[in-house]
Structure 1
Amino acid sequence: MSDTRPPTTIAVVGATASGKTGLSLDLAERLDGEVVNTDAMQLYRGMDIGTAKLPPRERRGIPHHLLDVLDVTEAASVAQFQGWAREAITDIRGRGRTPVLVGGSALYTRAVLDRFEFPGTDDSLRRELEVELERVGPSALHDRLRGVDPAAAEQIQRDNGRRVVRALEVIALTGRPFSASLPKLEYADPRTVQVGLDIDRPTLDERISRRVDAMFEAGLVDEVERLLAAGLEEGRTAVRAIGYREVVGFLRGDRSLAEAVDQTKAATRRFARRQDSWFRKDPRVTWLSYDDPGLVEKALAVVSGR
């Protein structure tokens, strides 16, 4: 008799604003599931509007994990998140329920799903690299990374100084390319399924534009002001979130409100393209059209292996 139970873990992936949240809720409802957040910025308390965090009243009574677990002054790390998420998944499965992962942070998702061991750290080396980052800027360090590990440089955004520093640190510590320590396409648990939402670029860009407008109308500027008072700029991770850094610039007088809105839209579009590119490289993802009237049933068929 064939095994018709749902897989151990389901991950809903794709670009921001493609409809992942809605599908994750539908699947959790149908499969007696609980949602596990894999968005790096939704880990932060108070970062609600700008991260499109689903309000409790809209969660359909479905338990959500790994939301609001950090203060904005705290740094988030992929290694730490991996431990938290796997613990949540084990707990959910232990109660006979189905974990449904959803979020836009591709590396966080892969770190949970795949076999991924983290190299150690060296505080003194890290500080040296961070000092150099401040002195020469992320582009110069990215050029250095490209010289020693082109594959890693290809996967790390040029202005992501923090990840460039980490890559150079790992190379110095291990003597191996940083790309060798990135997650391989091998599930930690074979009973895992990924469902991706396929959406055309013009439609996605329009949805992003509407979402950003709605965020500013809902009070994003006030949210950022509150978070600045709570120490937003003291942290290394939260202040880098799209929308928040643009509003900080507005509040500091570096740009107009209209410019902050436009720059947030442009940054979100670029981010969505990077997300799509990352997930498209994973052949294990089954892609379904975001507007298919039978989306939920087709996703359930993927989950059940039909």
Structure 2
Amino acid sequence: MTKTLTRRAWLAGVSMIAAGTMALGATAAAANDPVTVGALRFTSHAAGFVAFEKGYFEEEGLDVTFEFFQAAQPIAVATAGGDVDFGITGVTGGLMNLAEKDAIRIVGGVLHEKKGYDGMMVMASNQAYDAGMTTVDDIKGHSVAMTQVGSTFHYMTNLIADAKGWDMAEMKMVPLQKVGAMVAATKSGQTDVLIMVPHIAKALAESGAAKEIGWLNDYAEYQISTMITSVDNIENNRDMVERFVRAYSKGIADMNRVYLEGDADEAEVEEMTKLIAGYVAPDQPYEKAAPSIINGAMYLNPGMGLNKTDVAEQMQWFKDEGLVKSDLTVDQLVDDSFVETW
């Protein structure tokens, strides 16, 4: 009898220890902070994909998932509403209006136009090209595809117009809501001009679907995309924001080294390209997606540094165009306490 009771007690003890171990394991597994990132399926957004696949987010105690969008402005809305925690987006009118309401802030820089590196390509539809629009000098008065009024594509067109001394009123801006619709409109000749990221633009040019006529960085070097988060995250979860910035910055460093610095071997380039292809072109065979990804690598700001001076210039243009309130300040738009700014 004594022996039976002892065995039962021992089994009960083992069960309690096992249950306790499982509970501890569950607690450890749940310790990572859940984070949702809003992104586009662009190579220029791929530093986050690299950071995820390389385990950099996990190392910082972050359980990251991605939510994909068709345009940049909705990412800002989703970030403000708490549907995503971070978003990679251009400095759009929508972002500025949400910043003015103290909903979101820019906390770092991502994609930057920089001479010597591929950037946004200026393209002509085949129809417009055949009709004589063969250089950037010829685009005045032609229709230009963009997602929305106040989008990055809208601002890029302004940069070219400003460099050429044109009035934006001379440009026919056509809002099409989605990047895919912009591409389709240019391929069909519905719009004459397309300004597009190189991994899409080069594929269009190589297939003969549109013509390359110039590069944006011939006219301006500017902060194209930024990392945003909610004011609530900044004020109440600062440590999480800092950890996210560190992890994402490692993804940027990897991409710049492999694609831009020229010292990565062929196997390393292939490994990273396969990783990115799963996010950027999930429905395409790797062999088809790889060239545009490799050729479409753009300059990403090391350490997520931010060109705050340029962001202020962008903000002023949106004010001048009446797209944001005139009393918005750059310090409402940017929290410069997380990364280096200049």
> Which TM class, normalised by the smaller chain length?
0.3 to 0.5
Normalising by structure 2, we get a TM-score of: 0.32
Q: Which has the larger strand fraction?
A: 2
Normalising by structure 1, we get a TM-score of: 0.34
Structure number with greater Rg is 2
